[in-house]
Amino acid sequence: MSTPLLHVNHLEKYYQKTHILHDVNFELNTGEVLTLLGPSGSGKSTLLRCLNGLEAYQQGSITFDGQAVTQKPKQWQQLRQQIGMVFQSYDLFPNRNVLENILLGPLKVQKRTRAAVLPEVQQLLEQVGMADYANAYPRQLSGGQKQRIAIVRALALKPKLMLFDEVTASLDPEMVRDVLNIIRQLADSHAMTMLVVTHEMDFAKQISDQVLFLADGRIREQTPGKQFFEQPQTERAQNFLASMDF
Amino acid sequence: MSSWAIIQQSLPLFQKGFFITLKLAALGILGAIVVGSICSLIQYFKLPLLNPLVTIYTEIARNTPLLIQLFFLYYAFPQLGLRLTASQCGIVGLIFLGGSYMAAGFTGGFEGISSSQLEAGQAIGLSRWQLARYVVLPQGLALSVPALAANIIFLIKETSIFTVIAIPELTNTALDLIGMYYHTNEYLVVLVVAYAIILIPLSLILTYLERRVRYGTFGN
């Protein structure tokens, strides 16, 4: 049996006295896609942010790629190069063009040469259909285009794990499909290991190897993908799926 | 003698004052920007030891009148063995006052950056310093331009207080002439026009720059 890429063990998270995450446990193997589902405020995004050092956790442990996470800033700085994250609000840097946005990490953080990185970036841009936009500024792009660039910006660091935090939540419906297709493609043809928070149930059903259903900061169901959608065990999950109406 | 003749006769003196005002203001503003940006970075990174010192400095500088600051520099410092010329006092005073205002302007800009921009920077592995260099500084400076522009105009106007330590800038020139020849109206008109010649075009240029920088950085 191979060791999992990500192992989350008895994770507890508080904001002051509010208990946000209760005893979260799961494992994620290389190449697997895990979706985090649950109602708003259930702690999905917080959990994702804990996995990228944007939120501290108070108890429990995370092991990534055989390495125990210490929560020290220096270590997170290292780990973030291997754990890419894409946000709901894209957050491209407005003062840098598309190429400069993408190259910042590989050139300044990873100290790779422009000549080595550029062909990879070109290829990524082609994959997401944005090859003609290398010199455009974020203000000239639509939401869907910005999100595709944000995905490339994260992929350019060659991460082992990608975290997607409701990346289609602020997009127009027709753009949602483009972005979801890119993520699906990543899972299928690149076997990228991913943790996805989403409210797109059809997409989640297609892509999930594993589903974590969270409510009130607790994992209520932890099942293989298909099973969650076809035979949800808990009443919470049944209600949740009924309310999503997909 | 006609008013016009009085004005014409005074122009060479006002011209001298005009350039003294410009020169002292320029040096003071440049110094204030340097001091302000250093103080603001110290506050942004909450550098130990230096951060509380900066807080003390900015509180004192912003909450005492420039007039009193100049009296200290001009009359009290020589007692302590530090003798500066009047012009040096003026420049140092303007930097002392302006540095604190500029620091507040920069700090406002840095704090105006959305937290999601900082997280996006962290998420690609930027270190604290890289985050400052590639995200906080470019965006924060753009956001602080309106405050800096207001401070620049404010500091130029403050140079009129230099008259109390007998620096022959514009206001001092006017007051001197009035004291000697009593043509109050004429000299005051020249004085107002001289300030307007400096400040109105500058204010227009700064407004234009504000818009350019804003568009160049944020696209709106």
Cβ contact, residue pair B117, A93, below 8 Å: yes
**pLDDT tens profile B95-139:** 999 999 999 999 999 999 999 999 999 999 999 899 999 999 999
* Residue of B118, B119, B124 to mutate, interface with A, max A Cβ within 10 Å: B124
**pLDDT tens profile A156-180:** 999 999 999 999 998 988 889 999 9
CA distances from A195 to A23, A31, A165, A220, A229 (A): 18, 11, 9, 17, 17
Q: Where are chain A's structural domains?
A: 1-82+197-246
Interface of A with B in 58-117 (CB under 8 A): 73, 76-78, 80-81, 84-85, 87, 89, 91-95, 104-105, 108-110
A131 to chain B, any CB pair closer than 8 A? The answer is: no
Residue A245 pLDDT:
66
**pLDDT tens profile A3-16:** 899 999 999 999 98
Which chain B residues touch A if contact means CB-CB below 8 Å?
116-117, 119-128, 130, 134-135, 138-139, 142, 216-220
The C-alpha atoms of residue B208 and residue B201 are separated, in whole angstroms, by: 11
What mean pLDDT comes out for the span B27-56? 95
- Check if the beta carbon of residue A149 is closer than 8 Å to that of residue A143: no
Cβ contact, residue pair A87, B134, below 8 Å: no
Can you say whether the dihedral through the CA atoms of B186, B191, B197, B200 is positive or negative? negative
**pLDDT tens profile B1-36:** 899 999 999 999 999 999 999 999 999 999 999 999
Token code pair at residue B189: 């008109």
Residue B166 pLDDT:
93
Domain A1-82+197-246 has CATH 3.40.50.300: yes
Q: Where are chain B's structural domains?
A: 11-218
Token code pair at residue B63: 């909450």
State the Cα angle at A176 between A79 and A216, rounded to 5°: 60
Domain B11-218 has CATH 1.10.3720.10: yes
As to burial, measured by CB atoms within 10 angstroms (0-12 exposed, 13-18 middle, 19+ buried), residue A74 is exposed
Residue A1 pLDDT:
52
Residue found under tokens 């012009």: B87
Within 8 A of B127 by CB-CB distance, chain A residues are 77, 109
Reported ipTM: the value is: 0.92
Across chain B, mean pLDDT equals 95
